[in-house]
Amino acid sequence: MRAVTVATTDEAIRAPWTLTRMPDQTGRLAVVTGANSGLGFLTARELARKGARVVMTARDEGRGQRALARIQAELPDAAVELRRLDLADLDAVAAFAGALNSEGRAVDLLINNAGVMMPPRGLTRQGHETQFGVNHLAHFALTLRLLPLLSRAIGARVVTVSSELHRRGRIHFDDFTGEKSYSRLAFYAQSKFANVLFALELDRRLKAANLPVISVLAHPGYSDTNLQTSATSGVLRLFMRIGNRFLAQNAEQGVLNQLYAATAKGLRGGEFIGPDGFREMRGSPSLVHPLPAATDGDLAARLWALSEGMTKTQFPAIPERAA
């Protein structure tokens, strides 16, 4: 097994890290997927509050417009815009990235936040299992397509939002679509496991190519958002509602992990940020460690190659920036 080293920082996170310690983001351009609700909305709002220009994405135009209006009402001077992006359609991902590339603005932050959680088995437009397609493949393709713009920024970051449930994941190489056997939880865990494999492999490749971009992971612990109940149904939805009420921390606390990953000084790439409490369910941002299997470089390379084929994308050839 070729292990990928999980990065750490020289300076430990001084708990509790709060929004008051978030660095100024003036002049930076951030792209946040799934910004119409939950952690994505809070991420977009707080980056805008700190001065970033934020491109919010949403699959549903109406919900996205309502989210945009909420931020504009609270922050009248915020530089925020909405663009529709359906992550269940790789053609839409290509079109979205193509439009940004044609505008030529350097992207400082890409927050791969959007996701679906434990829906009934379904397929994306290109025929991929929905959770794997949206949570992993779409963000894989979006990241590679935006790397030219990220590489033009100073100190650019890609933050991929995973889950503590990645620890229950494995890659179903013999049944990617779940046609043989489908479990909502197992395929959700697979997609979150894939997020970790991807983000660590991305950082390794960025460093090997000497590109001025780092890849960082985050997970929110058990946070009370609409993700747990928006796609689930029946007994599972009831269970999630009970868990949200009695076990979860609020979304404002959970979002600190991805905001830390996106903005805190001293990160070098490859770090995983999650809550410091019991079983990483709640608490303040801290350095956490992924499932050991998620640091398997050979497994990551295999998934990477398959993901390139599924998305018809490749790591772009970008010249090194002159010193």
pLDDT of 228: 45
Structure confidence by residue, pLDDT tens digits, 297-323: 999 999 999 999 999 999 998 877 644
* CA separation, residue 96 to residues 100, 127, 196, 317 (Å): 7, 20, 24, 20
pLDDT of 11: 46
Taking alpha carbons only, the member of 62, 79, 61, 83 closest to residue 71 is 79
108, pLDDT greater than 70: yes
16, pLDDT greater than 60: yes
pLDDT of 209: 96
Q: Which residue has the higher pLDDT, 175 or 244?
A: 175
CA dist 277 and 265 (Å) reads 22
Band (250; pLDDT cuts 50, 70, 90) = confident
Band (102; pLDDT cuts 50, 70, 90) = very high
pLDDT of 222: 87
Q: Write down the residue that tokens 């997609």 correspond to.
A: 191
CATH of domain 19-311: 3.40.50.720
Taking alpha carbons only, the member of 90, 91, 134 closest to residue 227 is 134
Mean pLDDT over residues 17-43, rounded?
Answer: 97
pLDDT of 223: 55
Mean pLDDT over residues 62-81, rounded?
Answer: 98
Tell how far CA 167 is from the center of its chain. Answer: 17
Q: Which residue has the higher pLDDT, 224 or 164?
A: 164
Can you read off the two tokens belonging to residue 145?
């397509």
Q: What are phi and psi of 117, to 5 degrees?
A: -130, 110
pLDDT of 200: 98
Mean pLDDT over residues 82-97, rounded?
Answer: 98
The identity of residue 162, as a single letter, is S
Q: Residue 57: how many CA atoms within 13 Å on its side-chain side?
A: 23
Mean pLDDT over residues 156-165, rounded?
Answer: 97
The identity of residue 29, as a single letter, is L
Band (159; pLDDT cuts 50, 70, 90) = very high
- Per the prediction, the chain carries an average pLDDT of 90
Mean pLDDT over residues 261-278, rounded?
Answer: 94
The identity of residue 55, as a single letter, is V
Angle at 232 between CA 229 and CA 237, to 5 degrees: 65
pLDDT of 123: 98
% pLDDT > 70, the chain: 86
107, pLDDT greater than 50: yes
Mean pLDDT over residues 60-80, rounded?
Answer: 98
Looking at the annotation, which residues are catalytic? 188
246, pLDDT greater than 90: no
pLDDT of 234: 53
CA dist 6 and 252 (Å) reads 27
Domain ranges of the chain: 19-311
Taking the alpha carbons of 184, 190, 193, 194 in that order, is the dihedral positive or negative?
A: negative
Band (224; pLDDT cuts 50, 70, 90) = low
Burial zone of 102 (CB within 10 Å; 0-12 exposed, 13-18 middle, 19+ buried): exposed
Lowest-confidence segment of 27-36, 188-197, 219-228, 311-320 by average pLDDT: 219-228
Mean pLDDT over residues 199-217, rounded?
Answer: 98
pLDDT of 6: 47
The identity of residue 205, as a single letter, is R
pLDDT of 156: 98
126: three-class secondary structure by DSSP: coil
